[in-house]
Amino acid sequence: MSTAGDDPRLVSFGSPAEQPAASGASEPTPLASTEAEIEELEVDAPVVAILMGSKSDLPAMERAETELSDRGIRSETRVMSAHREPDVVADYAKNAKLRGIRVIIAGAGLSAALPGVVAAHSELPVIGVPLTSRTSVAGGLDALLSISQMPPGVPVACVGVDNARNAAVLAARILDA
């Protein structure tokens, strides 16, 4: 996927920058180097994922990023559309828990399937952010209903329209951070 654009925060999922460095012949013993890698992961790994359906959602969603960063909670931000890139979303959601993510915030506008699709593929808590966008109807009611009206057994928490900051506050409470 190539959604990173000019924004350095929007590194594509699984990009080479995220892969651990290969160890060379002059590196420490495999065990020591593995331990160092695990230690590094524990220190730097994001615990909250901030997902959004389009780059056009970034101005609203970066408020979640700011709130988490102000609280010292590590996050990663990704653009992926449940409708335009369904396989990318499924892969990301299926791997998130293994990668150390503990809460997923997902924002989208219009027919906002992203939070629900993520919740269908992951047992992590998912907080949906209904967003207004250029062609929203009823001030974002379309996205609000798409996110909140999940079928029984597949929960998505839903904050107010365009209220990404509250999603971050709720994530902090879930993490007790």
For the segment 55-94, give every residue that binds ligand AIR (CB under 6 A): 56-57, 81-84
Structural contact between residues 122 and 99, judged by C-beta atoms closer than 8 angstroms: no
- Asked if 149 touches ligand AIR (CB under 6 A), the answer is no
Residue nearer to ligand AIR on the CB measure, 58 or 96: 58
Residues 6+ apart with CB under 8 A from 102: 47, 48, 124, 125, 174, 175
Structural contact between residues 81 and 53, judged by C-beta atoms closer than 8 angstroms: yes
Question: Minimum distance between the CB of residue 160 and ligand AIR, rounded to whole angstroms?
Answer: 16
Which residue is listed with tokens 């079928």? 151
Question: Minimum distance between the CB of residue 113 and ligand AIR, rounded to whole angstroms?
Answer: 6
Q: Residues 18-57: x/- map of binding to ligand AIR (CB under 6 A)? A: ----------------------------------xxx-xx
Residue nearer to ligand AIR on the CB measure, 73 or 156: 156
Q: What is the CA radius of gyration of the chain?
A: 17
Residue nearer to ligand AIR on the CB measure, 117 or 171: 117
Residue nearer to ligand AIR on the CB measure, 161 or 171: 161
Q: In the sheet where 103-109 sits, what is the strand order?
A: 75-79, 48-52, 103-109, 126-131, 157-158
- Asked if 162 touches ligand AIR (CB under 6 A), the answer is no
Choices 31-39, 91-99, 103-111, 148-156; region in contact with ligand AIR by CB under 6 A: 103-111
Residue type, 2: S
Question: Minimum distance between the CB of residue 70 and ligand AIR, rounded to whole angstroms?
Answer: 24
Residue nearer to ligand AIR on the CB measure, 33 or 136: 136
Q: Which two tokens stand for residue 52?
A: 């959004």
Give dist(CA 94, CA 16) in Å, integer. Answer: 19
Q: What DSSP element (H or E) covers 128?
A: strand 126-131
Residues that bind ligand AIR (CB under 6 A): 52-54, 56-57, 81-84, 108-112, 131, 133
